[in-house]
Amino acid sequence: MAAALYNPQLEDMLTSLNNEVGSHVFVGVNTRKILNDFMSDPIAYGQAACCGQGPCNGMGLCTAMSNLCSNSEQYAFWDNMRT
């Protein structure tokens, strides 16, 4: 997989840039791992969409008539495609 070759080089480059700047300005994030965690263990992150209608807000589109979550920071997804 190309990422296995790319990611270590990216981390080295970010470390070098941070050393040049003298601060931890540049960071790398493994977004694939984060998304895989959400998808492989959805119960840990909640099973309702933040915006929608019906059970678990899993029906319909996000419209003015939709139920909106009270705290959007608790949701990984805002649509009904993953409920």
Domain limits of the chain? 37-83
Bigger pLDDT: 41 vs 20: 20
What is the per-residue pLDDT for 4?
A: 84
Report the predicted TM-score, pTM, of the whole model to 2 decimal places.
Answer: 0.47
- Ranges assigned E (strand) in the chain: 51-52, 67-68
pLDDT band at 19 (very low <50, low <70, confident <90, very high): very high
Tokens of residue 76, six digits: 């990984």
* Phi, psi of 36, rounded to the nearest 5 degrees: -60, -40
Rounded CA separation 15/3 (Å): 18
Q: Taking a C-beta distance cutoff of 8 angstroms, is the pair 69, 58 a contact?
A: no
The pLDDT of residue 83 is: 46
Least confident of 3-17, 19-33, 46-60: 46-60
52 close to 67: Cβ distance less than 8 angstroms: yes
Average pLDDT, the chain: 78
